[in-house]
Amino acid sequence: MEKDTLLMFSMTPLDKGESVSKYVSRSLDIIDKSGLEYRLNPMGTVVEGSWEEVIKVMSDCFEKMSSDCNRISVSAKFDFRKGKSNRISGKMQSVENKLGRDLKK
Amino acid sequence: MEKDTLLMFSMTPLDKGESVSKYVSRSLDIIDKSGLEYRLNPMGTVVEGSWEEVIKVMSDCFEKMSSDCNRISVSAKFDFRKGKSNRISGKMQSVENKLGRDLKK
Amino acid sequence: MEKDTLLMFSMTPLDKGESVSKYVSRSLDIIDKSGLEYRLNPMGTVVEGSWEEVIKVMSDCFEKMSSDCNRISVSAKFDFRKGKSNRISGKMQSVENKLGRDLKK
Amino acid sequence: MEKDTLLMFSMTPLDKGESVSKYVSRSLDIIDKSGLEYRLNPMGTVVEGSWEEVIKVMSDCFEKMSSDCNRISVSAKFDFRKGKSNRISGKMQSVENKLGRDLKK
């Protein structure tokens, strides 16, 4: 399966108060061990794979979080581009090339 | 499976110009025939079901759209609440009850 | 100013437990009194106006919510189409026309 | 003004075909020169500032893009936390501390 899909998502419990890094770190553990390329950013995590692969890792995170959280909000954004891979770094390089200088990443 | 998850999503081809209702209507056909409760709004569609059910209908829409679109953007937001169902109308009623008047829906 | 922008947004406090309709209803009160066209759906509210108008109503909601909430998450999606207005109903009609039947709204 | 708000956003023209890095790079130029802390990731840019500051930089990007694009889609997510600053790096460190190991950033 081609790794033509980027998924950026964040998954947050709404019933655990304002500090939720304990729950977020469990998701990152799942993502880090999934074998997929990923990048953590301050507002979520970008995962690269086929549609099925990125859906599976998000669903694995949901299964874990829903085991002990009663209300969960998930924001997700998918970017599919047929026949393109290695986009997790390629998209940013393309923008830097157009600008002719480095950006903060 | 409990219908404890609301999914609002929009799925848009980026390689078909600015008018994309032809592609959006194919997704709505899939959603309308899925048997799940749903509501169309001007920015997307809200579907109600279990996590697996709402993931499946979104994936069915993606499979159809990716058959003839080269770049696709999907925005999705999930709201899971353990043990709660019939939320597609209940959430709005709850807000109207708090306000003590009807809102435009 | 042309009403060429649709904004769908939801604004949620993260420090008030899993039931947040009290806070959401205050936002709806602001939106309802703004004079802008809007539609409430189970996952957020769609507002129609110029870029400046829809930004202002979202910022008014934020000012109110941040007065007594310590952590707030906002999801927003804008759809701008130059020279087009009355899109809050027009987009859905366009999809129904393509399909040749009514959908649940 | 306290820099208590993180905004992650992506802004994409829908009428310019599937390759849009020319337009995205103009937004990054505006962000990079804004003086605000930011981080580019493969699916968007995270900007740190007050609510007013992050709204302004997003609006500046919109003003530029709408000068020569007819249809624009913007996804945005705000995370406000009263009295907290330097969160653009702090949120990721908090997750890594919980996990006890480094993650890909």
D104 in a structural domain:
no
Check: CB of residue D57 under 8 Å from CB of residue D49: yes
> Which stretches does DSSP call E strand in B14-58?
37-41, 44-49
Of D17, D18, D75, the CB nearest to B75: D75
- Residue B93 DSSP label: H
Tokens for C87, please give them. Answer: 């899109």
Report whether pLDDT(D86) > 90.
Answer: no
Q: Look at residue A58 and give its three-state secondary structure.
A: helix
Residues A55, A102: Cα–Cα separation, whole Å: 32
Domain count of chain D? 1
Domain that holds residue B79: 5-99
Minimal C-alpha gap between B67 and chain D (Å): 16
Q: Look at residue A98 and give its three-state secondary structure.
A: helix
Inter-chain contact C75–A75, Cβ cutoff 8 Å? Answer: yes
Minimal C-alpha gap between C85 and chain D (Å): 13
Inter-chain contact B18–D15, Cβ cutoff 8 Å? Answer: yes
A17 neighbourhood in chain C, CB within 8 Å: 14-15
The mean pLDDT value for A48-52 works out to 97
A104 in a structural domain:
no
B87 in a structural domain:
yes
User: What is the number of other CB atoms lying within 10 angstroms of the CB of residue C102?
Assistant: 10
Minimal C-alpha gap between D41 and chain C (Å): 18
B104 in a structural domain:
no
Residues A77, B74: Cα–Cα separation, whole Å: 5
Residues A27, D32: Cα–Cα separation, whole Å: 31
Residues of chain B with pLDDT under 70: none
Inter-chain contact C41–B38, Cβ cutoff 8 Å? Answer: no
Does this model's pTM top 0.90? My answer is: yes
A96 neighbourhood in chain D, CB within 8 Å: 25
Q: CA separation (Å) from D88 to B37, B39, B50, D38? A: 39, 36, 34, 8
B53 in a structural domain:
yes
Check: CB of residue C78 under 8 Å from CB of residue D12: no
CATH of the domain at B56: 3.30.70.930
B105 in a structural domain:
no
pLDDT of residue A51: 98
B68 in a structural domain:
yes
Check: CB of residue D89 under 8 Å from CB of residue A105: no
Residues D45, A43: Cα–Cα separation, whole Å: 9
N- to C-terminal Cα distance for chain A? Answer: 28
| Residue matched to tokens 């996990």 | D99
Q: Which of A41-45, C86-90, D6-10, D57-61 has the lowest mean pLDDT?
A: C86-90
ipTM associated with this complex: 0.95
Q: In chain B, whose CA is at the least distance from the CA of D70?
A: B18
- Residue C104 DSSP label: -
Q: In chain D, whose CA is at the least distance from the CA of B70?
A: D18
C39 neighbourhood in chain B, CB within 8 Å: 41-42, 104-105
Residue B76: left (phi > 0), alpha (psi -120 to 50), or beta? beta
A88 in a structural domain:
yes
Minimal C-alpha gap between A41 and chain B (Å): 18
- pLDDT 10s digits, A75-98: 999 999 999 988 998 889 999 999
